[in-house]
Amino acid sequence: MDDVSADIEQRGFCILPSLFLQHEMEELAYDLEHSMLKRSKAGIRHALRHEGIRHLATEPRTLALARKVLGEGAVPFRATLFDKSSQGNWLVVWHQDTALPISERQEIHGWGPWSVKDGITYAHAPASALCEVLALRVHLDGSNVANGPLRVLPGTHRKGVLTDDEIEALARQIQPTDCLVQQGGVLAMRPLVVHASSKSQSPVPRRVVHIEYAARTNLAGLELAIT
């Protein structure tokens, strides 16, 4: 676990190849397929409403990993199911994840612009707050070169919140890494590491539960919404 923390600190991400068993991933995938939660072609937003995902987010293996990096107060605050397949296929350009769900809008220096998605208030956060966030991407299916894996620019999380032009320049300078993760594996990543993904070229689905943790629920005076 110490190596995981060091990798995340240095590169902004780390892959744990087999944190969960195949049958655990298949059971959760089945439950999600039969869930009544609102879906889009891309998956399910605000997925902590799903009992199975809430359990996954607080399961000892994921919680221990998050707390090793963020401290013993770390808690999950948001989850998303990404379901990339022939029916729902997309590409994502190079970017950072800077918007956080907030319980109540307050005008605080460094936060914003603000928006509302599915009834949840969001604010783009400063680097000081995003440094207290970690995402764990739990792979219900294996991610390979053909089915649109996440790609990252290692080390870019240490450069703060970047402009679009700065991100484009880094994408030309830094060799990207394809994050190939087997079923049951976990990709841990900082939200500020620059990342992207291409369209899938495979009939095999690529379902990922993306769970975000924060070192505390109150960041710089703003209370995170649990979604």
| CATH number of domain containing 104 | 2.60.120.620
7-35 per-residue burial string, b: 16 or more CB within 10 A, e: under 16: ebeebbbbbbeebbeeebbeebbeebeeb
For the chain, give the percent of residues with pLDDT over 70: 99
Q: What is the per-residue pLDDT across 124-152, written as a single tens digit (0 to 9) for each?
A: 999 999 999 999 999 999 999 999 999 99
The closest alpha carbon to 183, from 144, 219, 222, 139, belongs to: 139
For the CA atoms of the chain, what is the radius of gyration?
A: 17
Range of the domain at 182: 2-223
Main-chain dihedrals φ then ψ at residue 161, nearest 5 degrees: -75, 125
Confidence check: pLDDT of 40 > 90: no
Question: Is pLDDT above 70 for 1?
Answer: no
Total domain count, the chain = 1
Q: In the predicted model, is pLDDT for residue 69 greater than 90?
A: yes
Residue with tokens 């902004």: 12
Tell me: pLDDT of 158 over 90: yes
Task: Encode pLDDT of 86-129 as tens digits.
Answer: 677 888 999 999 999 999 999 999 999 999 999 999 999 999 99
**Average pLDDT for 68-92:** 92
pLDDT at 87: 74
pLDDT at 203: 84
Please give the average per-residue pLDDT across 43-70, as a whole number: 97
Q: Compute the average pLDDT of residues 23-47.
A: 93
The pLDDT value recorded for residue 222 is 97
Lowest-confidence pick of 41-45, 46-50, 141-145, 179-183: 41-45
Q: What's the distance, CA 74 to chain centroid? A: 15
Percentage of the chain modeled with pLDDT above 90: 89
Question: What is the pLDDT confidence band of residue 41, given thresholds at 50, 70 and 90?
Answer: confident
Let me know: does 223 contact 100? Beta carbons within 8 Å: no
Distances (CA, A) of 51 to 48, 54, 79, 143, 209: 7, 5, 12, 24, 13
Per-residue pLDDT at 2 exceeds 70: no
Name the pLDDT band for 218 (thresholds 50, 70, 90): very high
